[in-house]
Amino acid sequence: MSNLEVFFYICTDVPLIPEFMLITQSAGKFLKRKRSINLGGELLDFTIPCVMGVINVSPDSFYKGSTFSSETEMLERVEQMLTEGAMIIDVGNLSTRPGAEMISTKDELAGLVPAVKAIRRHFPEVPLSIDTFRSWVALRVIEEVGPVIVNDISGGSIDSKMFETIGRIQVPYILTHIQGTPQNMQEDPWYRDVVHDVSAELSDGVRRLTKYGVADILIDPGFGFGKTLDHNYKLLNRLDSFKVFQLPVVVGLSRKSMVWKVLETTPEEALNGTSIVNAMALLGGADILRVHDVKPAVEAIRIFLQLKDSL
């Protein structure tokens, strides 16, 4: 029995029936730490941790410093992020802050497609990610601009066709854990053991994605998505537990309430706290830091790498 099979067994409390064993055996390629993904024929390597810069097209963001009033302003911000060392640009037009109002697919596309096309036109070599939980949006964007990473904060729980769609179009997929939806996720999140429960749900998602033939999976424990302050810090404290997946780990902590509530401040004043938790995440095995502020995250990585070299 492989380590991955043992992990699935522990997390899901189900017997390893033959069908289940076949699925986990097909995922055996993940037993050697996956350090790259294939995006449209180009390999993105995560041997060294990297930064994903956040671009919000939606004006409804918990951090107003991440929104833009014009395409020109947005492109200037992207250029700044790339100059400061971002490897990936993540674009979204669907607010996922706690209690956010759900917009229609039509409205999401109306803002997202022009933004992604503008970035691709001005920065054609830059790997792009789209922050959406709708499979139809992912399809439309890819039809318009080509392969992108799909960053689904719902982990396939909102759109039942997402996993099948990703398997069909074969683009990298960020599998994020969430409890509930953005509208209700913070009402009363509860876990028996947050690390165990999050791991179990992510393992089920990996299993299902693998069954659909998805080759490039990244995982995100979903800080702030259906978690209390204590849940978030337990996940951060035991982030190295997610190394068992042998998949790239994405961490999004930037200016979130788990930072500014502890400091008794605001998202606008939470940059220093964000740098601290990002450094902790790197020590826990994070491969990608998803941030609003690229330069401090790149500097955290540089210091982390120096620390590793001194061992």
Catalytic positions, written as ranges: 256, 290
- Contacts with 254 (C-beta within 8 Å, 6 or more apart), sequence order: 54, 63, 274, 278, 289, 290, 291, 292, 293, 297
Interior angle at CA 130, CA 167 and CA 119, nearest 5: 125
Q: How many CB atoms lie within 10 A of CB 42?
A: 11
Phi and psi at residue 50, in whole multiples of 5°? -135, 175
Contact call for residues 153 and 205 (beta carbons, < 8 A): no
Q: What is the three-state SS of 245-277?
A: HCCCEEECCCCCHHHHHHHCCCHHHCHHHHHHH
Cα–Cα distance, 35 to 199 (Å, whole number): 20
Which of 45, 185, 200 has the alpha carbon at shortest distance from 221? 200
